[in-house]
Amino acid sequence: MAMESNKRDGDVGLLSMNRLLLIVLPLMLLLGTGLWYASTVIQPPPQRVVVISTGGEAGAYHAFGKRYQAFLAAHGVKAELMTSAGSLQNLQRLKDPTGTVSVALMQGGIARREDIQGLVSIGRMFYEPLWIFYKSQNTLERIGELKGMKVAVGPEGSGTRALAMTLLTAAGITAANATLLPVTGQDAINALHGGGADAIMLAMAPEAPQVQALLRDPSAKLMNLSQAAALTRIYPYLAKVTLPQGVIDLERNIPARDIDLIAPVAALVAREDLHPALVAQLAEAAASVHAGANLLTLAGEFPRMVDPEFTMSPDAVRLYKNGPPFLQRYLPFWLANFVERMLVLLIPLATIIVPLSKGIPAFIRWRVQRKLTYWYGRLDRLESALGSTRPTPEQVAELTAIERAVALLDVPRAYSEPYYNLRGHVDMVRARMGSRLAVPA
């Protein structure tokens, strides 16, 4: 008896394990499928390094890049700076699918329609005024008046040359009616002072030492563009800015009057596949670097959330409107991003876990009822076949098989009542069969 009891306990334990596996394995399979689905739908972890293409080491782009770099480093993001020949090279690097550059500063107006595919703007960051200094007995106020002169327009591939050529061509000036010199910066200034150039076109920040020196040089005149408003209508990426009278030197009243200039608005542009969290970090860095006032702008005027050339990144716009995400205000960047990704991961998992939490009990109930119904059916057929005659050996064997199978059924406690009802009916049929067997044939 003890051996039979131990055998029965072992069989029940085995059935309980099978039932557990029957429930757990599908659940694990579904959860694994959910994890795979979620990991392919949600954004992957942010890139560990952001490569920013700037400009020449002595230029404003590179100086701003260093400030971005310092801000990002303070938030746990590594940024590498890559110098360049200017905006056109920056654009080429961004468009290169095999390159490592994912962010770049670019002068407004250099991108063509086919160049904007796969790129997004993090915003417009600052004015880059076009300074036209000249030496002449006459006062010049229109770009068209440079016809016949020697004009420094910048080297091939530079953003300054691209802008200068656009404006000169619109004013009817070409290499056929003017001498266009491929120099910029200090070389252009030396040419102006040495007589090698009659006018120079420079795209620089007003705080640049070269611009400050030219503004204080009485031999160099700054063109006050009378057609500045018209140029901004023709070229939407340009803005009209005013250099106020006396802003350079109040004592000497430099400049002696308000000077109207045109200025492309520089953009911070990123690849479309740059992680949204890093885009938000760059937007936060830009807001920190460019929100202050200078000679041409008021505090809070930049960054701008409108870009006439590139599609604005929704992540950058969200940062400008709402500030940093809640978790990033209190946690380090990488920890906050991990927590945010895990929270997003729970959404698709919840769509699986919630139905499972309701479906598994229903499935167990169906299996138990199916078992009980099956054995009730066999028992009912046996009982109907008994009648009032002596049971046959086959009927005795059938009852014994039913009795053993019911005894080994693996039934949860919640279904104990119908289970023991079934066992009671088996005992009742066993008693009836026994009474018939006791009667002599």
Q: Where do the domains of the chain lie?
A: 2-38+349-438
Asked if 274 and 314 touch (Cβ cutoff 8 Å), the reply is no
For residues 396 and 401, give the distance between their C-alpha atoms in angstroms, rounded to a whole number.
9
- Which residue in 338, 323, 347, 428 sits closest to 382, CA to CA? 428
Contacts of 263 (CB under 8 A, 6+ apart): 127, 128, 129, 130, 238, 239, 240, 241, 296
Query: Is the entire prediction scored with pTM above 0.75?
Result: no
Q: Which residue carries 């070389």 as its tokens?
A: 187
pLDDT, tens digit, for every residue of 228-287? 999 999 998 899 999 999 999 999 999 999 999 999 999 999 999 998 889 999 999 999
Q: Please count the CA atoms within 13 angstroms of the CA of 338 that sit on its side-chain side.
A: 5
Are residues 142 and 228 in contact, defined by beta-carbon separation less than 8 angstroms?
Answer: no
Instruction: Give the tens place of pLDDT for each residue, 26-64.
Output: 667 766 665 665 555 555 677 889 999 998 887 889 999
Would you place residue 356 in the very low, low, confident or very high pLDDT band (cuts 50, 70, 90)? Answer: low
Helix, strand, coil share (%) of the chain residues, nearest 5 = 50, 15, 35
Which H helix or E strand runs over 162? helix 159-170
